[in-house]
Amino acid sequence: MPRLLRHELLMFEALREGLGEEMERDPNVCVIGEDVGDYGGSYKVTKGFSEKFGSWRVLDTPIAENSFTGMAIGAAMTGLRPVVEGMNMGFLLLAYNQIANNCGMLHYTSGGQFTIPVVIRGPGGVGRQLGAEHSQRLESYFQSVPGLQMVACSTPYNAKGLMKAAIRCENPVILYEHVLLYNLKEKIPDEEYTCCLEEAEMVRPGTDITILTYSRMRYHVTQAAKTLVDRGYDPEIIDIRSLKPFDMYTIGESVKKTHRVLIVEECMRTGGIGASLRSAIMESFWDELDGPIGCLSSQDVPTPYSGPLEELTVVQPHQIVTAVENLCGKK
């Protein structure tokens, strides 16, 4: 069997590749954001695009999130496919009204007349001592908005695939990237591919417990898994990827196999993705569960600047190991 051709790149390059391919494929795809053009993007995702596609398709905006997000939504109503970059996802809180009321709801309130094929993307999550306002996790704030789809990428492979799928999707999609994952390296296929927006990714099949995670916490989980395997556990790790809607099929099949669930997320404990996922699983798969669903989330605090304190706010691998041991019993 011929070996599939692959090339190695970093996560931000994978995002760039996906975005560039879609911009070449469809002239209606454009990028709108701060410093995306001449500067090449603050995380270099659009480096070189301005020269290639022109400054009208890679639009440098003033610092006015509310209006440029609204502008992208208005443009999407006519059939353009803008990709809005929030320099940091936290800044998009300024555009909350546009995202919740206009982006999410226009398809419904217009009785199906308009679709909003906009992609809103940017880095979020807790970084390296960036301070409270630059360490936001917006997935918990937007998850209740009807009409939005939300996906979180975690590897160069799924970053490129999800970016392409999100751009082609007729629904508004929020693509959550993580500040600390941009330099992850991986070999991805040369040929064109997309990832399904609503599907979860099986990271490691197992039998003892289902660990559900997404974005950066996937790596804390895989690290904890090494310790767990040494201690005789067989965890099944699923990167849920689709934060809205949840892939209840993949999750359900796993729960039916292992009967134990642990959710590991970077959202705050209160009102986070884990909170919704926990109640969705309990509602649908109660009979399959042998014990309570565990949920490890970040602490309900503004992210402190000091390094050791910041480490305490997010879930660390040793906490995951302890949680699994508690849920499965000592081996």
The yes or no reply on residue 191 touching another protein (CB under 8 A) is no
Residue from the set 16, 107, 160, 216 that interacts with another protein by CB under 8 A:
107
Give min distance, CB of 208 to another protein, in A.
24
CA angle 202, 207, 212 (to 5 degrees): 45
Residue from the set 154, 155, 194, 215 that interacts with another protein by CB under 8 A:
194
Query: Any bridge partners for residue 81, and if so which?
Result: 29
Q: What is the side-by-side strand order in the sheet with 235-239?
A: 201-204, 235-239, 209-213, 261-268, 294-298
Compute φ and ψ for 221, nearest 5 degrees: -70, -45
Give min distance, CB of 172 to another protein, in A.
10
d(CA 16, CA 22): 10
Contact pattern for another protein over residues 243 through 282, marking x by CB under 8 A: --xxxxxx-------------------------x---x--
The yes or no reply on residue 170 touching another protein (CB under 8 A) is yes
The yes or no reply on residue 144 touching another protein (CB under 8 A) is no
Q: Which is nearer to another protein, 102 or 258 (CB)?
A: 102
| Residue 108 CB burial class (10 angstroms; 0-12, 13-18, ≥19) | exposed
Q: Which is nearer to another protein, 12 or 68 (CB)?
A: 68
HEC assignment per residue over 59-76? EECCCCHHHHHHHHHHHH
Contact pattern for another protein over residues 27 through 66, marking x by CB under 8 A: -x-x-------------------------x--x-xx-x-x
Establish whether 65 is a catalytic residue. yes
Listed in sequence order, the residues at least 6 apart from 261 whose beta carbon sits closer than 8 Å to its beta carbon are: 209, 210, 211, 212, 255, 281, 289, 293, 294
Stretch that binds another protein, among 99-107, 181-189, 209-217, 297-305 (CB under 8 A): 99-107
The identity of residue 243, as a single letter, is L
Residue from the set 165, 221, 240, 295 that interacts with another protein by CB under 8 A:
165
Establish whether 288 is a catalytic residue. no
| Residue 300 CB burial class (10 angstroms; 0-12, 13-18, ≥19) | exposed
DSSP H helical ranges for the chain: 11-25, 49-53, 65-77, 96-97, 106-109, 139-142, 156-168, 217-230, 248-258, 273-285, 307-313, 317-328
Residue from the set 284, 299, 316, 319 that interacts with another protein by CB under 8 A:
284
Site size for another protein, by CB under 8 A? 58
Pairing assessment for the beta strands 119-124 and 81-85 based on DSSP bridges: parallel
Residue from the set 9, 31, 77, 138 that interacts with another protein by CB under 8 A:
77
| Annotated catalytic residue, options 107, 134, 178, 220 | 134
Q: Which is nearer to another protein, 109 or 322 (CB)?
A: 109
Q: Which is nearer to another protein, 92 or 169 (CB)?
A: 169
d(CA 269, CA 176): 18
The yes or no reply on residue 67 touching another protein (CB under 8 A) is yes
Q: Which residues bind another protein (CB under 8 A)?
A: 28, 30, 56, 59, 61-62, 64, 66-80, 97-98, 101-102, 106-115, 146-147, 149, 165, 168-171, 194, 196-199, 245-250, 276, 280, 284
Active site amino acids: 65, 134
